Structures are given as C-alpha cells and as structure tokens.
Amino acid sequence: MAGKNTVKAVGFMMMITLVGKLLGLVREQLLAANYSIGAQATAFMTASRIPRTFFDAVFASAISASFIPVFNEYLEKKGKEEAFRLANIFVTMVGIVTCVMTALGMIFAQPVTWLFADGFLPETAKTCAEFLRILFPTVVFTGLAFSFVGILQSLDEFTIPAAMSIASNAVIILYYIFFDRYFGIYGLTVAFLIGWAMQALIQLPALWKKGYHFRFDFHLKEEGIKKIVLLMLPVMVSTWIQPINIVINTKFASHIHFENYPDAAIATIEYANTLYSIIVGVFVLSIANVIFPKMARLTTNNAKEDLGQTVSATIKAMLFLLLPMTFGLMVLSRPVVSLVYERGDFGAFATETTARALFFFSLGMVGFGVQNILSRVFYAKQDGKTPFYSGLVSIAVNILLCFLLAEKMDVGGLALASAISSIVSALFLWIPLCLEQKALLSKAMLKDVLKMLVSAGIMVIAAVLCKNSLLLLNIGGFWENVIVVAVTAVAGAVVYMICSYILGVDESKMAVEMGKNLLQKIWHK
C-alpha cells in the first residue's frame, strides 16, 4: 500500500510539475518571440540567472539537504510544536541573510555582471546591471519559498510546492499578453519579481492548514540550527557544482560572438538549457522531491536495507524513463527547437544554434538524474563531504572541457562540457554508494540497465528512420514540426516499450499493467 501511495504521489507530482513546466515553456516562447537572441534578451536572461545562482550557492543546499533532515528529526523525536519552532528560527535566519545578499547585489550590480559575463559589449553589460538591480530581491522570495517547501514536503504535502511555479509563470505570461507592448523588457523584470514573490505567497494557506504560522524567532543558538549550519557548510560547498558551472559556462559564452548576433551565445544556451531542464525536470525533480523525505526518515530510523532498496528501485525506474528520453531528444533536437521557439523574431539561425546546444545538453540527462538522486541519499545520511568532492571534480572537468571545446564547437562545446561534468559527478557519487549498498550494483540491476540500453539503441534506429521519412514528405512550416516530433516520439516510445517488454525489463511490465488497468477503468465507465 505504501508503495502504491508513493507511485500515486510521484504521478500526481509529475502532472502538476508538468503543468508548471509547460507554462514555463510558454513563458520562454513569448520571450523568444518578442526578444529572440538579441542583446536585451541576453542581458535579461543573465540578470535573471544571477540571483538564482547566488541563492543556489548559499541556501538551496541548506534547505534541501540540511534543514529537511533535521526538521524531520525534530518531528520524529520532539514533536510538531518543537519542529515548527525550529522552522521559525530557520526562516528568520534565511530572511536576514537573503536581505543582506540582496542589498549587496543591488549595490554591486556592475561588478557582479562583470563576474558572470566579462565578455559582454559595454551596452549589454550596462543593461544587464540595470535589470539586476530590479531582480536581485528574488533572492529573498526564493529563500522564503524554498523554506516553506521544506516544511510542507516534510509534512507529506507535495501538491502546493509543486504548483508554485504555475503561479509565478502565470503572472509572467499575463504580463506578456496584456502589458509587454506598453512597458517592454523593463516591465518584464518587474513581472518576474512579482512572479517569484507569488511562489512564497501561494504556500501560506497550506502551511496554515498544517498548523504552521510563521513568527520571527532570533534564537539562532538553538541546537537544531547549529546542527543545520554544521551540516550545511560542507553540503553548501558540494552544491556549488551547478552555480559555479553556470558561472563558468556563462563567462565562456560571453566571449562567443556570432556575426550579426555579438552577444547571442548566452541567450542561445539559456533557451536550450530551459527546454532541457523542463523535459528532464518533470521526471527527476518529481521523483527526488517525493523520495527525499522518505530517505531522511529511513536514515533517522537506521533502516539501511530499506534505504538501499528504495534508492535502487528509484534509480532503476528513473533510468527506464531517462535513457529513451536522452536519445529521443538528441534525434529530435532540431524539430523540437523549431516547434517550440521559431516564431516572431526567433529565426533560422537562432534555431540552429539552440538546437546544437540542446543536442549536447541531452547527453547529460542521465548524469543529471542520477546525481540528483544520489546526492540526496548522502544528504539524508547527513554526509556532505562526498558530494563536496564530487563537486570539485565536476567543476574541474567542466573548466577543462570549456577551454578545449568552446572555440572549436562554440555553444555546442559548452553544452557538451556541462553534460560530461554531470556524468562525472554522478559516477563519483555512484561508486562509494555501491560499496555500501550492494543493491545498486547487483547483477539483476546491471542486466536490466543493459536491456534498457539495447532497447533505447533499437528505438534510435526506428526514430531516425521515422523522422527522415517524414521530412521527405516536405510538408514544411509549423505542421511539419508538429508531425515530425509527435509521430517520431510516439513511434520511438512504442518501439522502446515493445523491446524492453520482450527483454523482460520489470518497469516495462509494470507500465503495461498500469496501462491495462487504466483502459479497463475507462472501458467500465
């Protein structure tokens, strides 16, 4: 029963997350159509990325990896009242630090812009700094929103946290529809700020329903806060992988200047990365967010065998989804980008460069997914050192590959460097965990993964043949992209399911069984 409830929770989370991601995609489509890959779009994307990077570097780790395990420990051992008191102290601390970060970010907007993109033309750098002063308060709202997410997820409430991106994206989309023609891209920065504020506000009713009411509490010497901070420090450094890699890739991209589009590389990478993140995030983050509190509780209760089985089953299920998605997205990168973005000011050149970046980003999908799950295993165990070393190796690999590939492959090289660094990070976490959890390296696990790879390989052949056949019809325009993407994706999925079922992959059997049950319910209705 517990397993079924987890599957239902993950399924529901995926649906809500998918809606939020689709709205995020609409938001990006509107940005692409109105501002394409020009200097204003590049400045805006860089300015909107910087506050998130600072937040990820400081507090994302504290909330996801340090606060949730300690908060769960308080719930299990001291009760809800003490846990809520700890939450109040933590949220107060987050508020103080993010307000200081915001003030410094707004004051030093120009040097911060240079830190991220020292290759910008002077006018682009100036515009980016102006946007940054408007957008830096998103750090405060993000801190509050993620703190509330940690509380709600620990109390087994996943719906509202998953839906918060729906609220923020809806605000921005409404701005594009009704106000963009009047206030332009400067008004858009204000709409983004309001959207991020909505992420925190939308969670308040659910928190009140659970009995939590925030009150300022400055008892920062609380035992639980000390534990969070001590745990946070190594974990914080370990989670600098992504923010630092973003800074590295952005700096290299700012030095790539295309003819007629001198500062377009960052915008191109952002569009590709957003599309990639939407596709992979629906599955990986939905699974990770539901499983992490469970892993934290299993670790608190010292249930090592159950933890190993949970991690093994989670990784296997995720690989079953991500392997075909990786190869499928590589095959369809060009028509997918054209379908999603190519309209308005977003022309053929923007499509080609974005598709090239998306192709190479796709290679890191499995690495991203595995790294995301395994890092949470170490965080649940309150071990931040292993992810820290993994992060150092990943950053070193990314820097080296950016140096080697940026000049030869432009945005494709930067995307490939990012993908390989994710794979290396995942392997670095996988190896020590396999020594501890034998289920992760069992013969059954390896055989099933090999079967998935064989199925995915056959799927690629079928998908390429299908795509090329459809392109020969020369339909042209929007409908060609719709038909090529939809028919090829469905054909590939069917071939993958058939092959994996014939080869006896357990996940395919479960999927077929769930499909049969769903059809039976529909038929009886």
pLDDT 10s digits, 264-282: 888 899 899 888 887 777 6
Q: Give the pLDDT of residue 502.
A: 93
Which residue segment(s) compose the domain that 253 sits in? 2-441
Q: Give the pLDDT of residue 407.
A: 87
Q: Give the pLDDT of residue 231.
A: 73
Q: Take residue 368 and report the two structure tokens written for it.
A: 């991203």
Same domain? For 156 and 272 the reply is yes
Same domain? For 333 and 188 the reply is yes
Beta bridge partners of 419: none
Of 414, 441, 468, the position where a domain reaches its end is: 441
Q: Which residue has the tokens 């299908």?
A: 466
Same domain? For 437 and 470 the reply is no
Question: Does pTM top 0.85 for this prediction?
Answer: no
Same domain? For 462 and 413 the reply is no
**For the segment 112-167, what is each residue's pLDDT rounded down to a tens digit?**
999 888 889 899 999 999 999 999 999 999 889 988 988 888 887 777 777 888 88
Residue 382 has pLDDT above 90, yes or no: no
Mean pLDDT of the chain: 84
Of 441, 472, 492, the position where a domain reaches its end is: 441
479: left (phi over 0), alpha (psi -120 to 50) or beta: alpha
- The Cα–Cα gap between 258 and 354 comes to 13
Report, in angstroms and rounded to the nearest whole number, the Rg of the chain calculated over CA atoms: 23
Q: Give the pLDDT of residue 3.
A: 47
What is the residue type of 218?
Answer: F
Same domain? For 484 and 338 the reply is no
Same domain? For 427 and 486 the reply is no
SS3 377: helix
Residue 57 has pLDDT above 60, yes or no: yes
Instruction: Give the pLDDT band of residue 1 (cuts 50, 70, 90).
Output: very low
Same domain? For 385 and 450 the reply is no
Same domain? For 149 and 233 the reply is yes
Mean of pLDDT values over 191-217: 92
229 burial (CB, 10 Å; 0-12 / 13-18 / 19+) is middle
- The Cα–Cα gap between 225 and 232 comes to 10
Mean of pLDDT values over 102-112: 94
Mean of pLDDT values over 456-462: 96
Nearest to 147 by CA among 105, 92, 226: 92
Instruction: Give the pLDDT band of residue 11 (cuts 50, 70, 90).
Output: low
Nearest to 341 by CA among 328, 326, 353: 353
Instruction: Give the pLDDT band of residue 370 (cuts 50, 70, 90).
Output: confident
Q: Give the pLDDT of residue 290.
A: 57
**C-alpha triplet 347, 350, 352: angle, nearest 5°:** 105
Same domain? For 413 and 464 the reply is no
Residue 313 or 334, more confident:
334
Assess contact for 503 and 489: CB atoms under 8 A: no
Of 383, 408, 441, the position where a domain reaches its end is: 441
Number of domains into which the chain is organized: 2
State percent of the chain over pLDDT 70. Answer: 86
Judged by average pLDDT, the poorest of 72-86, 114-128, 218-232, 493-507 is 218-232
- The Cα–Cα gap between 60 and 244 comes to 14
Same domain? For 410 and 476 the reply is no
Same domain? For 436 and 455 the reply is no
Query: What per-residue string of b and e applies to 299-309 under the rule 16 or more CB within 10 Å gives b?
Result: bbeeeeeebbe
Same domain? For 270 and 229 the reply is yes
Q: Give the pLDDT of residue 401.
A: 95
Instruction: Give the pLDDT band of residue 524 (cuts 50, 70, 90).
Output: low
In 171-290, the DSSP E strands lie at none
Q: Give the pLDDT of residue 2.
A: 45
Q: Give the pLDDT of residue 106.
A: 95
413 burial (CB, 10 Å; 0-12 / 13-18 / 19+) is buried
